[in-house]
Structure 1
Amino acid sequence: MTWGMVAGLTALIAVMALYEWPKIDAALKKERAAFVVLWALGWLLGMVLIFNPDLPGPSHLIDWVFHPVVRHIERIGGS
């Protein structure tokens, strides 16, 4: 099942890339580079989520980063 999802995701992203690539002017090298980087990051994120679906979302990272700051502000404000 997992390898079928990997193949499906890869095929889907390849079709999307093949559809969009000719629409980007060949002279726009930075835009093509950005397209490839975003395409690769999307594929990589998809692979990570296929193999680890219980991965916490971005809101957990924000909570982890700002929780000490919020505790400090609440301690100062409560005085």
Structure 2
Amino acid sequence: MKWGLVAGLTAVVVALVLYEWPKIDAGLKKERQAFLILTALGWLLGMALIVKPNLPSPSALIDWVFRPWVKMIVGAKGF
């Protein structure tokens, strides 16, 4: 089951790159680099969600990082 999702996501990413790559001017090297990096990050996040679908959201990470600071500044009343 998961192999089908992995193959499907990979096929979509490859199709996206094959469709968009020729449209980006060859002289725009930084744009091409940004496109590849962002596409690779999206693919990696997709793979992570396929392998472990119950990953916490990014807001949980932000809450974990900043909760001690909020407690220090505001006090423990609100928590």
Give TM-score, length-normalised by structure 2.
0.90
Of structures 1 and 2, the larger Rg is shown by 1
Partner Cα distance (2:14, 2:76) in 1: 53
Give ranges in structure 2 of 5+ residues lacking alignment: none
Does residue 62 of the first structure (1) align with residue 62 of the second (2)? yes
Identity of aligned residues (%): 65
Partner Cα distance (2:70, 2:29) in 1: 44
| Runs of 4+ residues deviating >3 angstroms | none
In structure 2, what is the equivalent of residue 71 of structure 1?
71
Give ranges in structure 1 of 5+ residues lacking alignment: none
Aligned length: 77
CA RMSD of aligned residues (A): 1.5
Give TM-score, length-normalised by structure 1.
0.90
